[in-house]
Chain A
Amino acid sequence: MTSVPTNVPAVDPDAAEDPSARRGRRRAPRSERSRAEARLGWWLAGPAFIIMVAVIFYPVLQALWDSLFNYRLTAPDEREFIGLQNYATILADGVFWSALGVTALITVVTVFVELILGFALAMIMHKAIKATRGLVRTVILVPYGIITVVSAFSWYYMFSIDSGFINNWFSWLPGIDAELNWFAQGSTALLVIMFSEIWKTTPFISLLLLAGLAQVPDDLSEAAAVDGANWWQRLWRVILPNMKAAIMVAVLFRALDAFRVFDSVFIMTNGAYGTEVLSLLAYRTSIGRLEIGLGSAVSVVLFLCVGIIALIAVKVFNVDLAGGRGGRK
């Protein structure tokens, strides 16, 4: 606990409510040695910090700048400043809205299913007896260790009408027979893409939820049980509220990941038959068509969407991650 300095300057009463201001007032005057260490720290970490900032912001700023031009890589002399025209073209085009819709659908469905499955797996891992705990965790994490492209190819070949075995194995289910070409229509192709995403990344969510589950004190659950709460009530009233931060981190990380889905779609359908997603559209425009301006605009829109998702997640869960304590208003 730091002592309160005696020479605290007078502050505005409103500002006193500000936590940062509160923290500022409590800060003790630093010694010369402490300041020297801080300076050394900046000298040591500064270059890395500057490089990190450059690496992160340079491409973003470059994309923002390029998105204001009509610029094709194979016609550098015809580069022309057109302001926000690229954004107008994108937002007025059905291809963009369709890709946005498919991306949102994949994100919502996969994150929702993964959250439920991931929680179930986290419970299993949490409750697994000590002797088998390591084995259970390893087995559950295997899909996450597989490279996404490899996993996408596996799922593609499983469901392919030429080489796949799924039609044969599940022909007893209505709607599945030897003639079903999964990747020839959007509905079935998206189903396979979402299956593969869920299979691949559920372990990731379960790992994050397991960490959250481990932080819930057993005393709380036991006390609730003594008060007569059944399992369901303990889950909803005790366990889940206490792992709010872990759930938010899991949902946020996975939602951002799912929104940037690329590999699975690229391998399985390459965006054909209504499976185009935003990242593939950005790739096709920038790299395929070499339309750097238009492609950068798509990338910037994708970046904004990701930012909005992060903002929504933080607002909805109302978690102060900086404070280090979950669930605090």
Chain B
Amino acid sequence: MRQFRRSGGSARRWAGVAVTATAALVIAGCAPADDTPVLTWYTNPDDGGQAEIAQQCTEQAEGAYRIETSVLPNEAASQREQLTRRLAAGDTSMDIMSLDPPFIPELAEPGFLAVPPSDVVEATTKDTLEGALAGATWKDTVVTVPFWANTQLLWYRKSVAQEAGLDMEGQVTWDQLIEAAADQDKEIGVQGARAESMTVWLNALIESAGGHILENPEASADEVRLGLDTDAGRAAAGVISTIGQEGLGSAGLATQAENESMLLFQGDSGSFMVNWPFVWPATNGAVEDGALPADLPDDIGWGLYPAMEEGKDPAPPLGGINLGVGAASEHQDLAWDAVQCIVTPEHQTQYFVTNGNPPSSASAFDDPSVEEKFPMAPVIRDSLDLAKPRPQTPYYNEVSTAIQQRFTPPSSVNPETTPAETGQFIQEVLRGESLL
């Protein structure tokens, strides 16, 4: 009987909860709806900088629109997969997208991206650095708006460079680095993993040697001409092969991406490293946490990416993020307004200082807080002027994946055969004759 009473009481309580919940729903349903247009901004993961800018732009819009961010997967390739599938399906929520430059042609070619109005292009690109603007363009049309630009620098241990007698104020070559590291039994931080970073490295080497991975990137799949089986391609393969076969990239080279090469560089065998600017705040953070020696930052220097030959310009890798608007977006005009707000030089400066991602706007580098936080900012700016984008083709994913498969592990690369075989493989894949 007692139990019966208890269960009866419980039932009454649950009934009360249900009535309250229903009442709350009804009241909420009757409340005036917020009809402010909502713009969804698909962002790549960061330290919260894009969400912060979205909030600021929402406030500045004074009710014209509200920006909500939706975070994409970590890897650039996974971001591309998700965005492409949604765009192909005509998802109307693709208002603003943070896009990696190499994947833009693939989205622009089938018309998945809305072309920015000329006044928006004019307002947002008037002081954009050359390399970043090249990455935002497809078939001579600006199809996205540069938001931030990234580039790799040469990071070096001052003690190692000094011992080798290298003048790090001037331009150094890959041969010099290889010789210096070999002489002192040190290891070079490069990215030898079967990942996008291999294409980044190979492209920088070939471009600096005066060649291109693709000779006519805008051509259709069966008319693409490869520039791998050339003197430039063989020279680039020679650098990768030497570092791999002589063990200069460490035993972990075959699985080493950007983060692993940074850890190698921070260790006792570190000498030189090519990598993105994130290594500077990451190293300082580790020093502050006590994970690395306090005097390590004093031994780290930076300069322009290595060149292939003395007297030739380097071709540093170009990265970064551009903003695109989906062709199926229901709020295209508002989205372009929001894009203009997001990419102002002030926001780019703020994003660099707080999240470590360099601006694509030249004037954003002028803020004193930039050099205070990133003493290498002038080198980054110079590097962005020299930076060369990866092949801009709608088939970039195939080209890149094929390169990754044939140029890894670096110790297996043969300068005489690998470039030619890779070129042939890419053509077979593009013609639909080979699996990848």
Complex interface: chain A residues within 8 A of B260 (CB): 162
State how many residues of chain A have any CB contact under 8 Å with chain B: 33
Residues of A267-322 at the interface with B, using a CB-CB cut-off of 8 Å, are 270, 272-273, 281, 284-285, 287-291, 294, 298
Q: Is the CB of A76 within 8 A of B436?
A: no
Complexed CA–CA distance, A270 and B88 (Å): 25
Complexed CA–CA distance, A223 and B32 (Å): 81
Q: Is the CB of A93 within 8 A of B263?
A: no
Q: Which of A161, A272, A287, A291 contacts B81 (CB 8 A)?
A: A287
Q: Is the CB of A95 within 8 A of B436?
A: yes
Complex interface: chain A residues within 8 A of B194 (CB): 270, 272-273
Q: A179-B251, A272-B194 in contact; A289/B436 too (CB < 8 A)? A: yes
Residues of B37-71 at the interface with A, using a CB-CB cut-off of 8 Å, are none
Complexed CA–CA distance, A290 and B436 (Å): 12
Task: Let me know if B408 is at the binding interface, CB within 8 A.
Answer: yes
Task: Let me know if B372 is at the binding interface, CB within 8 A.
Answer: no
Complex interface: chain A residues within 8 A of B434 (CB): 89, 93, 95
Q: Is the CB of B252 within 8 A of A285?
A: no
Interface 9-mer from B23-31, B393-401, B414-422 = B393-401
Q: Is the CB of A285 within 8 A of B397?
A: no
Q: A183-B255, A270-B194 in contact; A75/B435 too (CB < 8 A)? A: no
Q: Is the CB of A285 within 8 A of B435?
A: yes
Complexed CA–CA distance, A2 and B84 (Å): 62
Instruction: Bits for B380-403, please: 1 = Cβ < 8 Å to A, else 0.
Output: 000000000000001001100100
Task: Let me know if B119 is at the binding interface, CB within 8 A.
Answer: no
Complexed CA–CA distance, A273 and B412 (Å): 11
Complexed CA–CA distance, A289 and B85 (Å): 11
Q: Is the CB of A273 within 8 A of B435?
A: no
State how many residues of chain B have any CB contact under 8 Å with chain A: 30
Complexed CA–CA distance, A284 and B394 (Å): 17
Q: Taking CB as reference atom, which chain B residue is nearest A74?
A: B110
Complexed CA–CA distance, A284 and B433 (Å): 16
Q: Is the CB of B436 within 8 A of A75?
A: no
Complexed CA–CA distance, A293 and B109 (Å): 20
Residues of B402-436 at the interface with A, using a CB-CB cut-off of 8 Å, are 408-409, 432-436
Task: Let me know if A70 is at the binding interface, CB within 8 A.
Answer: yes
Q: A70-B432, A74-B109 in contact; A161/B251 too (CB < 8 A)? A: yes
Q: A90-B435, A93-B434, A281-B435 in contact; A74/B394 too (CB < 8 A)? A: yes
Complexed CA–CA distance, A270 and B81 (Å): 16
Q: Is the CB of B254 within 8 A of A184?
A: yes
Task: Let me know if B274 is at the binding interface, CB within 8 A.
Answer: no
Q: Is the CB of A74 within 8 A of B106?
A: yes
Task: Let me know if B107 is at the binding interface, CB within 8 A.
Answer: yes
Complexed CA–CA distance, A288 and B433 (Å): 17
Q: Is the CB of A96 within 8 A of B435?
A: yes
Q: A89-B432, A288-B401 in contact; A181/B252 too (CB < 8 A)? A: yes
Q: Is the CB of B397 within 8 A of A289?
A: yes
Task: Let me know if A61 is at the binding interface, CB within 8 A.
Answer: no
Task: Let me know if A191 is at the binding interface, CB within 8 A.
Answer: no
Complex interface: chain A residues within 8 A of B18 (CB): none
> How far, in Å, is A175 (CB) from chain B's closest CB?
14
Q: Which of B77, B88, B251, B255 contacts A73 (CB 8 A)?
A: B88
Complex interface: chain A residues within 8 A of B397 (CB): 288-290
Q: Is the CB of A290 within 8 A of B110?
A: no
Q: Taking CB as reference atom, which chain B residue is nearest A77?
A: B110
Residues of B192-225 at the interface with A, using a CB-CB cut-off of 8 Å, are 193-195
Complex interface: chain B residues within 8 A of A90 (CB): 435
Q: Is the CB of B110 within 8 A of A76?
A: yes
Q: Is the CB of A272 within 8 A of B263?
A: no
> How far, in Å, is A285 (CB) from chain B's closest CB?
7
Q: Report the 5 A-B pairs with minimum CB-CB distance, sorted nearest first.
A: A184-B254, A272-B194, A179-B251, A95-B435, A161-B252
Knowing that A76-B88, A181-B254, A285-B435 touch, tell me 12 more A-B residue pairs with CB under 8 angstroms.
A74-B84, A74-B88, A89-B432, A95-B434, A162-B252, A178-B251, A181-B252, A272-B408, A273-B409, A287-B81, A288-B77, A289-B397
Chain A interfacial positions (CB closer than 8 Å to B): 70, 73-77, 89-90, 93, 95-96, 160-162, 178-181, 183-184, 270, 272-273, 281, 284-285, 287-291, 294, 298
